[in-house]
Structure 1
């Protein structure tokens, strides 16, 4: 994951750079800009409707975005393994100590 802490006034240019970087670097890119200027964003190289994780514009405002990004799919070229489905637990089963 590429994380940038910024104090950047040129919000539009950096938005465009993050949009390009997450594809060129093939990893999540998070730009956390000062609330004085706005323009914080988090993007990942996923299909179009899933790539924008967070995007805040506007200046002189305080905004907090809370999100989770899993970098694991971008660490390996192996296809992701689907988790195994477990059968239903027996009645009264509370797990093992």
Structure 2
């Protein structure tokens, strides 16, 4: 999937918020692209992360707590992690995973 997608969006209806938080953190690194998880407001646990170098910059949005209606608005540059060449970004990217050659442009 990481070779053909620029961002990964997960629509969830899951009670196991801790597991999904861990999965989102792992996926943003392994897929080397922004990962956005939207869980239902009844359960909470929505987040968006991207593989930036500084740990505190990786988490773009994070909402916990249940039975609440929340709208998170944020910008994500889906093309920032598409290739391995140096791109000027406001935040420094993590190094690409081993074997990453970039994604197709289709």
1:67 corresponding residue in structure 2: 74
Q: Structure 2: give runs of 5+ residues left out of the alignment.
A: 1-6, 90-106
Structural RMSD (CA): 1.2
Query: CA offsets, 1:19-40, max 9 Å, x none?
Result: 1110011000000000010000
- TM-score by structure 1 length? 0.81
Q: Structure 1: give runs of 5+ residues left out of the alignment.
A: 83-97
C-alpha distance in structure 2 between counterparts of 1:53 and 1:24, whole Å: 17
Deviation at 1:72, TM superposition (A): 1.6
Question: Which has the higher Rg, Structure 1 or Structure 2?
Answer: 1
C-alpha distance in structure 2 between counterparts of 1:49 and 1:13, whole Å: 20
Deviation at 1:81, TM superposition (A): 5.0
Which structure would you say has the larger RCO, counting Cα contacts within 8 Å and 6 or more residues apart?
Answer: 2
Please say if 1:16 is aligned against 2:30: no
Q: Which runs of 4+ in 1 moved over 4 A?
A: none
- TM-score by structure 2 length? 0.74
Pick the aligned partner of 1:53 from 55, 60, 71.
Answer: 60
Pick the aligned partner of 1:78 from 82, 85, 88.
Answer: 85
